[in-house]
Chains A and B, each alone.
Chain A
Amino acid sequence: MTTTADITRKRATTPLVASVRDLHVHFETKAGVVHAVDGVTFEIRDGETLGLVGETGCGKSVTARSFIRLVPSPPGIYAGGQIDFWSTEARRFQEEPIDLLKVSREEMLAIRGDRIAMIFQDPGKALNPALSIRSQIAEVFFQHRSQEILEVLGPNVPRILRRAARQENTAVERLLLKMPPLRSKADKLQERVDDLVAHALTETQIANPRKIMNSYPHELSGGMKQRVLIAQALACNPDLLIADEPTTALDVTIQARILELIAELQARLETSVLYISHDLSLVKEICDRVAVMYAGRIVETGTTKQIFSNPLHPYTRGLMAAVPSANHRRGELAAIDGTVPELVDPPPSCHFHTRCPYAVEICRTADPGLVSVDDGHTVSCFAYESGDVDADLPSLGT
């Protein structure tokens, strides 16, 4: 029997929520097999915010979508590796994790939206324009909380209502539910769901949730839509929230509010967050740990402090130097020359060697792999192969 004290102690040692090991995701194209994710390894600890940073096309979104198997297949192929996931229950009873890449479709449906939820980049595209906000959030409850919803009707609920609570009812059944004697019970069911939806919206500090529920996405502003998506994602109190550039489509003033909201809800619900972004300065503000991705691989991981005060990988340094700031003089931004390499059948090499100012012969022929250089700070570069942080590169841009 585990006591509360045990659980608290375990939290102190920060158990894992998810662990990605050597993940490979390939896409089959006419030009060849694209290795979009090419051996990614990282861990997400309980209650933390992990930032996954990288430029367009580095595979960060594909990695995130692999968690809930949303990579379209074909052309996508999960070519190897595993994603272990511990739900709260699994952790409490010290069960073995489940491999998200191996679970059946039905198990995945139960996890997706319930234990692992996702907020998408463009709230305008993620919401269905033809459905009201009410029905889009209600769907989550029908999918994952049908038993709880049915409790309002007491025991011995007719089968037709049980099916209605899972949104499995047919058109004929829907018609029957609109007539007495089932109508009153169906209305009760709807009322219960409406309460849940309104509560979920209130959580995201939307004023007047009952009014918003009845509106359609086009009636809401971008910031409001993103709040609706957050309400939808957090409706079932998930263990892991994947936020895929949730504020890229928003203005800075709105962005700050949305990030405040996510942070506050995360603290209250004790959810772990995988935060995907291309914006380094944003990641610095909100993440506990950071993993930097380049061309399908993780090049550096560490705590936010480690990454930002002591970046080791040439790519991480290049990225930071490229962000315009007050310290830069005009025309003297440290740009990284060249472009991201093609990921079609990549050779075994450090993927960054084509743009790296310090590349030597070995970088072209072998993959350095992640090496731990400090407590929790790992980097994938031959310069630090001995695990020696002081084996320093000449600083970039000088």
Chain B
Amino acid sequence: MPTSHRWEHDLVTSLSTEPGNLDTAKSKRAVISLRGVEKHFPIREGTLQRVVGQVRAVDGVSFEIRPGETVGLVGESGCGKTTLGRCIGGLAPPTGGKIYFRLSDEDAAKLDVVEATPESERTKEHLKQVERIDTDHRIDQLSGKAWRTFRRNCQIVFQDSFSSLNPRQLVKDAVGRPLRVWNEASGRDLTERVVSLLESVGLGRQHLYRYPHQFSGGQRQRISIARALALDPEFIVLDEPTSALDVSVQAQILNLLHALQKERGLTYLFISHDLGVVRLMSDRIAVMYVGKVAEQGTAMELFEDPRHPYTEALLAANPDITSEGSEMRGLRGTLPNPAKPPEGCRFHTRCPVATPVCGWEVDDAVAWLQTNETLLTGLTDVQRRSNFDATLVFKDEASASAVGAAIQNGDVPAPMRAALETFSAEGGKVSMKFSPVEPVQLEDIGGGHLTACLLHTSQRDRI
């Protein structure tokens, strides 16, 4: 590899610099850059296992993680946050988009230029640049030495320490394994390295020759952290590291993680569903909903001045021990199916402040009709021209007009009714057409605070 020397150089400088100066030495690059990352899982059916659809677990996520910072990733279960963590950790190749490791700002700017150019106008020079950056930094195209550097410097701590530690391995073997794989140490030297790792996470020499089942949940999580630290990585993905722990133990682990970060200049991606924990641990936070980022900003901005109804809903639903007499408020409905995410803004089906232009579609109308016991019993056929335009065929005139009356007069969400372009219920058929809406994009509303809510972006005029 002709370019590999730059990696080595990078590694050497990062190791030789004092931890205190680490930030300034590396601030000219991001540790991890995501550009439109997608991870779709195929849905297979039948004997031939034909692909009939895609579960869009992660559907176009872009953000950067800078050296020394902690980026929090929050969302409900099933929103794709763990899948994204696995993609970043190199455990699951993304099906679309690019993940770069140690991408310099200079190269990032070059990529921006290329991406801004329409595909037909891209020159050979452009393509050459992209190819060079990809082979050097894009994690699913790294090879040889570059790939090994990435693996060394990117470690993961998993949620469930029961299943992430091999029950048949002694602590010494589990924590020492990365060192042996990399031929970093052996024999007595290895034992001493493991002891010092254990000591750095609050365990000690007496724990060397024990099995995972002999430890409590908090201690097992400490072992996992020690293992992640073994190769002195730059970046650690923390996938719900404390969600299986009690509060008093959680506090111990969070304090430990912070102390380690300060001591070793680590960069964290902190994945959690617990807003209190994320707020405490993160510098910047991305809120995910059904595979997309809904809002992104500093921890302060997000908690003090949320600019997306979903973030507001999460905050309102989160019980807070310090608040006086606040009411918890939940969200109606359930998380949409990620195999067929809603049109427009993905949150519109549950949003308390939804507008007619938020992406109402035929499925929303059908979902609403399904909550009624009798309305859809006479349905015989659905002629769907697009997600916004369909005709429901009923077996008789009466059931069609009942559905028509329900949609026009029932307690349908008002913005949904307002979004109807044409609607008719005649001759045993109900036709509806909603105005088509483009997917909502993240938009910067000042100082790196991004939101995907129409109410807060320049799209506001459309309402």
Residues of A within 8 A of B (CB): 55-56, 207-211, 221, 223-224, 251-260, 278-282, 284-285, 308, 318-328, 330-337, 339-340
Q: Apart from A334-B251, A339-B216, what 14 extra A-B contacts exist at CB < 8 Å? A: A208-B371, A209-B373, A210-B373, A253-B331, A255-B330, A256-B330, A260-B328, A278-B247, A279-B319, A281-B319, A319-B248, A324-B250, A335-B248, A337-B252
Q: B233-241, B272-280, B426-434: which lies at the A interface?
A: B272-280
Instruction: Report the nearest B residue to A224, measured CB to CB.
Output: B334
Q: A339 touching B328 by the CB < 8 A rule?
A: no
CA distance A328 to B279 in the complex (A): 10
Q: Say how far B372's CB is from chain A's closest CB, in angstroms.
A: 7
Q: Say how far B320's CB is from chain A's closest CB, in angstroms.
A: 6
- State the total of A-B contacts with C-beta under 8 angstroms: 132
Partner of A208, one of B217, B280, B326, B373: B373
Q: Say how far A321's CB is from chain B's closest CB, in angstroms.
A: 8
Q: A324 touching B279 by the CB < 8 A rule?
A: yes
Given A252-B76, A284-B321, residue A323 in contact with residue B330 (CB < 8 A): no
Q: B24-32, B99-107, B310-318, B402-410: which lies at the A interface?
A: B310-318
B303 within 8 A of A: yes
CA distance A224 to B258 in the complex (A): 38
Instruction: Report the nearest A residue to B217, measured CB to CB.
Output: A56
Chain B 363-388 interface residues, beta-carbon cutoff 8 Å to A: 370-373
CA distance A323 to B248 in the complex (A): 8
In the complex, chain B residues whose CB is within 8 Å of the CB of A279:
319
B218 within 8 A of A: yes
Instruction: Report the nearest B residue to A337, measured CB to CB.
Output: B252
B329 within 8 A of A: yes
Given A282-B319, A325-B322, residue A330 in contact with residue B246 (CB < 8 A): no
B324-357 Cβ-contact flags toward A at 8 Å (1 or 0): 0010111110110000000000000000000000
Interface residues on B, range: 35 or more
Q: A208 touching B370 by the CB < 8 A rule?
A: yes
B281 within 8 A of A: yes
Chain B 384-443 interface residues, beta-carbon cutoff 8 Å to A: none
Q: A323 touching B247 by the CB < 8 A rule?
A: yes
Q: A251 touching B248 by the CB < 8 A rule?
A: no
In the complex, chain B residues whose CB is within 8 Å of the CB of A251:
76-77, 273, 335
Question: Which of B249, B279, B313, B370 is packed against the most chain A CB atoms within 10 Å?
Answer: B249
Given A280-B321, A324-B277, A326-B303, residue A55 in contact with residue B246 (CB < 8 A): yes
Partner of B247, one of A55, A211, A258: A55
In the complex, chain B residues whose CB is within 8 Å of the CB of A322:
247-248, 250-251
Given A284-B321, A333-B251, A333-B280, residue A278 in contact with residue B259 (CB < 8 A): no
B255 within 8 A of A: yes
Instruction: Report the nearest A residue to B319, measured CB to CB.
Output: A281
Instruction: Report the nearest A residue to B77, measured CB to CB.
Output: A251
List 7 tightest A-B contacts by C-beta distance, closest first: A256-B330, A257-B330, A331-B258, A207-B371, A335-B251, A322-B251, A333-B251
Given A252-B273, A330-B281, A331-B258, residue A280 in contact with residue B247 (CB < 8 A): yes
B148 within 8 A of A: no
CA distance A386 to B332 in the complex (A): 51
Question: Which of A253, A333, A339 is packed against the most chain B CB atoms within 10 Å?
Answer: A253
Q: Say how far A60's CB is from chain B's closest CB, in angstroms.
A: 12
Q: List 8 A-B contacts (CB under 8 A).
A: A221-B334, A254-B334, A256-B330, A257-B331, A284-B321, A318-B248, A328-B280, A336-B251
Q: B329 touching A256 by the CB < 8 A rule?
A: yes
Q: B280 touching A55 by the CB < 8 A rule?
A: no
CA distance A221 to B333 in the complex (A): 10
